[in-house]
Structure 1
Amino acid sequence: MNLYRSARAVAGASGDDAIDWRSAAEAAKAATDPGSLALEAGERGAYARDVRDARAAVRAVSGAEFDVPETIEIQNRHHWIDANVATFERVMGALETHTGTFPGIARTINTGTMTVMLSFLGRNVLGQYDPLLLADAPTDDHALYFVRPNILNAADQLDVDADRFRRWIAFHEVTHAAEFGAAPWLSDHLETRMEDGIANLSEGSFDREAFRDLDAAMTVVEGYAELLMDHAFDDEYEDLRRKLDERRQGRGPIQKLFRRLLGLGLKERQYERGKDFFEHVVAVRDLKTASLVWEGPEYLPSHDELDAPGTWLRRVDR
């Protein structure tokens, strides 16, 4: 970790865009220990086995036809930063396309802010299923990453078996692959609502409905993943979830601030709210009924229906 090199990269931010993405990536990596990728004997095979087992179990439970990315990446923190700079650039680039620039905000400040964000996430993300939203290349499909140093570090901090913890992460990420496989329209739906919100921001207005719809859709994505985990994972995991929650609650004030600024508290609320919605639907009906959410955008529960599952059931029940 080289904080001087990180600061120098940010100070040297240049170009015509609001953020110098190359400098942000260089600075984030300079400020972040990459962690070890010295895999133990059989470890790469264990990752592949966990993903295969998760795919088979989730397929059996959900009845969904889907696949996982051909390449499963075992990354260190620097690899994750490089992979996700492109994601952030796509999203922020869409905003710049509409606004042209960020008036009154210095490129150096923007680049520094993105550096802090990438560095923080790079040290904390465990696994990631990436549907590559807003990607231009027709070959871009989806990707599955595991950040090995973070998984081992979290398992050690939580005092849990690393192999079991890694398998739990694999199952969770594969549930997301199942959702996007079961609903080919989902990527376009999320992109459209995201772009609608961005377009209105560029005109100086806030499209509350676009962002409410986006939040509702992501709540469904996170909640349904939790539902599949409950049915597909081949071991108890309440202790893992509880220890992770305790770890989040025990973070220092600076880390808690970062989590709020990055919307990670919102993601946790989406987990809880979505899980409550689907638990109610399954208790009243069954898993097949819960899976109706993937029939089409019109089957997604609205923001209000997420808190009133009975209303959604009356609307879609056949």
Structure 2
Amino acid sequence: MDTTSAALRLINWDLAAGTAAKLAGAGPKLTSTQIAQVVADLRIKADASVEHVYRITHLEAARDLRDSEVLVVDRAGWAHANVQGFEAMLGPALRRLAEIKGDKAVESVSALGRAVTGTEMGAILAFLASKVLGQYDPFAPLLRPGIPAGGRLLLVAPNIVEIERELAVDADDFRLWVCLHEQTHRVQFAAAPWLREHLRDNVAELVASMMGGNDSASLLERIRDAARSLGEAPSVEGSGPGDTGGLLAKIQGPEEKAILSHVTAVMSLLEGHANVVMDGIDASVVPTVRTIRQRFGGRGKSRGAIEKWFRKLLGLDAKMRQYSDGQAFVNQVVAEIGMEGFNAVWEKAENLPTEHELHHPSDWVRRMSGAPADAGL
């Protein structure tokens, strides 16, 4: 087996998907008739939400989303889809690892095989599969033929039903509210077709750099520890003030730090923008939206399960602020130059905000206008 092939097989993805399906559980009990009704209703809500996303964002990409698809899935289906997404996203990083390390890549792959097996990855996915309400996956088409080029939006039906029951909120309103957030992500990537490769390249460079050092075993052990921590404390809220653990401790070089800073800013932007769309919906569209916001926010924002795991894994609780930073950025930019002015962010990678600009929106506005930033910032 050549080193590239070995690197691409570092995780048994089929085992991960099968393990997740077994461990995730089915969720709330529903009859076959109820399941069919929920699936049909979520599809209707997903379609209806696109018009509202267009009205708020003014993005022409929201007029027609034929390059992607909407899937209403159960927990096992979500896990299987994410196995494909992970494999597609990590592929370039693993190839780059093989190119950098040559024959030594096999040794690193063996170490990773001991540290993170398909079973452990499946356990992680099983935990997340019971929490996630929806997700937009732009990466799967890069690996699997037959998936629309624009990716796919996943709505996890049992989790949506479980949370709407737990919160005792209006089901129609809650489902539309959830779809608004997820469809916004779908529109973002449609408006910026370059964004998928841009993110993938940055993640590949960062992961390959972290895995390419001489201390691969230590790095991989951190992945294992982060995975196990989910089972011990599934309500991960963050590290203590002085905790800089996770994979962040491995990021030492200025180039790695710059990439992490950029990815942090981009992910905060995407989530913040989606939150702005959700907050742009009033009672004329979702009559009980105020109640939903209050009750959903009060349950610890479980919608961020994936974010919490990656923040735990990477040690980003010591680095990142809440995605509210992205929301504040969008709100201030829109207040200064309007939504059309803000939408320049989707035109090209150079228009994405830096992490500094994310916290100083006026600097981004000045840069887009060609004016110099304030001295000292």
**Fold in common (TM above 0.5):** yes
Shift of 1:202: 4.0
SS across alignment from 2:135? strand
Pick the aligned partner of 2:119 from 112, 115, 120.
Answer: 112
Q: Distance in 2 between matches of 1:138 and 1:23?
A: 21
2:278 is aligned to 229
1:309 is aligned to 361
Q: Distance in 2 between matches of 1:256 and 1:185?
A: 23
Equivalent residues of 1:216, 1:303 under 8 A apart: yes
1:209 is aligned to 258
Structure 2, gaps ≥5 residues long? 1-6, 98-104, 214-251, 371-377
Task: Work out the percentage of aligned pairs sharing the same amino acid.
Answer: 30
Which sits farther off after the overlay, 89-98 or 266-275? Answer: 266-275
Equivalent residues of 2:134, 2:182 under 8 A apart: yes
Residues 96-245 of structure 1: matches in 2 within 5 Å?
96-99=94-97, 100=105, 101-102=108-109, 104-107=111-114, 109-132=116-139, 135-137=142-144, 139-140=146-147, 141=149, 142-204=151-213, 206=253, 207-232=256-281, 234-235=285-286, 237-245=289-297
1:261 is aligned to 312
Q: Distance in 2 between matches of 1:298 and 1:65?
A: 21
Q: Distance in 1 between matches of 2:115 and 2:321?
A: 33
Pick the aligned partner of 2:86 from 85, 88, 93.
Answer: 88
Q: Does the C-alpha gap of structure 1 residues 170 and 219 become closer, same or farther in structure 2, counting only changes over 3 Å? A: same
Equivalent residues of 2:180, 2:277 under 8 A apart: no
Shift of 1:60: 2.5
Pick the aligned partner of 1:24 from 6, 16, 22.
Answer: 16
Q: Does the C-alpha gap of structure 1 residues 122 and 64 become closer, same or farther in structure 2, counting only changes over 3 Å? A: same
Q: Does the C-alpha gap of structure 1 residues 249 and 263 become closer, same or farther in structure 2, counting only changes over 3 Å? A: farther
2:329 is aligned to 277
| Per-residue CA distance 1:142-169 (angstroms, 9 max, x = gap) | 1111111100111111221222111111
Number of residue pairs the alignment of both structures matches: 300
Report the TM-score, using the length of structure 2 for normalisation: 0.70
Q: Distance in 1 between matches of 2:307 and 2:199?
A: 27
Q: Does the C-alpha gap of structure 1 residues 209 and 260 become closer, same or farther in structure 2, counting only changes over 3 Å? A: closer
Report the TM-score, using the length of structure 1 for normalisation: 0.82
Q: Does 1:68 align with 2:65?
A: yes
Which sits farther off after the overlay, 25-34 or 228-237? Answer: 228-237
Q: Distance in 2 between matches of 1:294 and 1:85?
A: 28
Instruction: State the one-letter code of the partner of 1:26.
Output: G
Q: Does the C-alpha gap of structure 1 residues 106 and 315 become closer, same or farther in structure 2, counting only changes over 3 Å? A: closer
Q: Distance in 1 between matches of 2:26 and 2:315?
A: 22
2:47 is aligned to 52
Instruction: State the one-letter code of the partner of 1:20.
Output: N
Q: Distance in 1 between matches of 2:264 and 2:78?
A: 25
2:346 is aligned to 294
